[in-house]
Amino acid sequence: MTMPHVYLHSLGMVNALGADTDTIAVALARGTSPGMGPTALGGECGAYVGRVQASLEIAPPAQLARYDCRNNRLLLAALAQIEPEIQAASARYGAARIGVVLGTSTSGIGAGEAAFGAPREPGASDAPFDYVQMEIGSSAPFAAAALGLQGPAFTISTACTSSAKAFASARRLLQLGLCDAVVAGGVDSLCELTVRGFAALESTSLALTNPMSANRAGINVGEGAAVFLMSREPGPARLAGIGESSDAHHISAPDPSGAGGERALRAALADAGMTARSIGYVNLHATATRKNDEMEARLMSRVFPDGVCASGTKPLTGHTLGAAGATELGFAWLTLVRAGAKLPRHLWDGVADPALPVLDLVQEDRCLPTGHAVMSNSFAFGGSNVSLVLAR
């Protein structure tokens, strides 16, 4: 049986680049990000992060006030950008036919840190914190309730592939006829747990992250939200291919050969009915850790032996963890659907690692070749690998 095509109609995003897609698209093309910089997070060791600069004034409706935290306000800021399209879909199909699938890795842990760490005076009332804010599965049900949607709503948490895998689940809901539209994406907010946790793994950089460089020293943790409205109705971009694999090489280190990631890329191409030459741009996972960049460069050279334009965008957002897959798919979507859009730049010091295969990294104004598709890669702890392909 031939499965119906699934399309990505509209995008809402907020991250260190900006608080709307127009601002983000301009900053992405220029390779400048106002939200990247040092922070007090990380304690005495400090940290360099990607922080959302917007004021996040949209609060949950009164009946959902217990969910109010930075993570959910990031989510609401992104959802507000596409809410008219969501409500139009709800009116057309019915609220029970609209699903919500989101990825996250931190949920509202930052709110919990603030509440548990606040000084408590005798007789003082409790801080406005509810444990539901940091429940890992609460993001999608919260979003559904805030939007008045009644279809399936669930959260995926597979570390840095969380929101990439959300699109696989959302496509299944649509292709099986369980939903007529789905809100899919991801959200994550900065907190001490992730900043100090990655520092404990010796995986963070105290300066701007430097992907694919011989001098790469680790990630900058970031925050953000990215959400799409998906349906079977034709739209500006088709979710043409999805590839998933799990190599389970190590709890936190990737398979150095990149064999598991390579399976995901090849599966995505096969699912799309494409060859490597059909792809005109790849958004790399490119965390700037020693091991991740090594394995990704190797698998890219095997899957794309003739080369392909590529860039790692985490120096512009930080690594948004559970939101990274949706955020970087959002960058690929903007590249594909916006007229005259420039490919996202690869920001680094230009010092190539002689131990890595040479990649065609975007370092000047370049556009997507006519008629080509785009790909976005996501890799995670535990050997979780996802590759997504978009076509016009």
d(Cα 256, Cα 341) in Å, to the nearest integer?
Answer: 34
Please, what CATH class does the domain formed by 7-391 belong to?
alpha beta
Query: What angle is formed at CA 322 by the lines to CA 180 and CA 65, rounded to 5 degrees?
Result: 75
- Asked whether 318 and 342 are in contact (CB, 8 A), the reply is no
Which DSSP symbol is given to 343? Answer: P
Q: How far is CA 299 from CA 49, 244, 385, in A?
A: 28, 15, 12
Q: What is the pTM of this model?
A: 0.96
pLDDT of residue 382: 84
Q: Which amino acid is at 325?
A: G
In DSSP terms, 185 is beta-bridged to 102, 227
pLDDT of residue 315: 98
Least trusted range by pLDDT, from 75-79, 150-154, 311-315, 341-345: 341-345
d(Cα 129, Cα 279) in Å, to the nearest integer?
Answer: 46
Give the helix/strand (H/E) hosting 188: strand 181-188
pLDDT of residue 246: 92
| 284-312 tens-digit pLDDT | 999 999 999 999 999 999 999 999 999 99
Q: What is the mean pLDDT of the chain?
A: 94
| Radius of gyration for the alpha carbons in the chain, expressed in angstroms and rounded | 20
Q: State yes or no: pLDDT of 381 exceeds 90.
A: no
**Domain definitions of the chain by residue range:** 7-391
In DSSP terms, 373 is beta-bridged to 279
d(Cα 270, Cα 264) in Å, to the nearest integer?
Answer: 10
d(Cα 201, Cα 312) in Å, to the nearest integer?
Answer: 21
Neighbours of 188 (CB within 10 A): 34
pLDDT of residue 311: 97
CB burial string 291-318: b at 16+ within 10 A, e below: ebbbbbbbbbeebbeeebbbbbbbbbbb
